[in-house]
């Protein structure tokens, strides 16, 4: 069975400071990992994904995420947070060779960037 844990419901960070949103996963076989962002009353926007290759993945809006196989983690990071980054962030996973199975989502982490 696949699962995703986002241990923090809320993350607060000052504008200009680095931010980290945590994610750990459990999957049989190699994982296919995603981060999505959701603004109020909107659908999810794709930020980045990891399939294979470099453990550090760069995505949209200056975000990046680091895949750590030994810790089964895929934390989302940004060197300098903006107020406009305030949103709900979802981590998701599925097994790489799982056919048509859908992504499994974490419960989401609300990021608040304070000016």
Partner 1 sequence: GAVVSQHPSRVICKSGTSVKIECRSLDFQATTMFWYRQFPKKSLMLMATSNEGSKATYEQGVEKDKFLINHASLTLSTLTVTSAHPEDSSFYICSARTSGSGGTQYFGPGTRLLVL
Nearer to partner 1, 14 or 96 (CB): 96
Does residue 43 touch partner 1 according to CB under 8 A? yes
Cα angle: 3, vertex 106, 114; to 5 degrees: 150
Does residue 37 touch partner 1 according to CB under 8 A? no
Q: How many residues does the chain have?
A: 115
Does residue 51 touch partner 1 according to CB under 8 A? yes
List the structure tokens of 20. Answer: 């980290």
Nearer to partner 1, 17 or 46 (CB): 46
Does residue 90 touch partner 1 according to CB under 8 A? yes
Q: What are phi and psi for residue 113, nearest 5 degrees?
A: -105, 120
Does residue 97 touch partner 1 according to CB under 8 A? yes
């Amino acid at each position: 069975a696949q699962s995703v844990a986002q241990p923090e419901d809320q993350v607060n960070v000052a504008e200009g400071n680095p931010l980290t949103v945590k994610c750990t996963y459990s999957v049989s076989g190699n994982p296919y990992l995603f981060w999505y962002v959701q603004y109020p009353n909107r659908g999810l926007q794709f930020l980045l994904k990891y399939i294979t290759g470099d453990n550090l993945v760069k995505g949209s809006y200056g975000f990046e995420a680091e895949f750590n196989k030994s810790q089964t983690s895929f934390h989302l990071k940004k060197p300098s947070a903006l107020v406009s980054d305030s949103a709900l962030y979802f981590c998701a996973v599925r097994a790489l060779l799982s056919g048509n199975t859908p992504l499994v989502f974490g419960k989401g982490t609300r990021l608040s960037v304070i000016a």
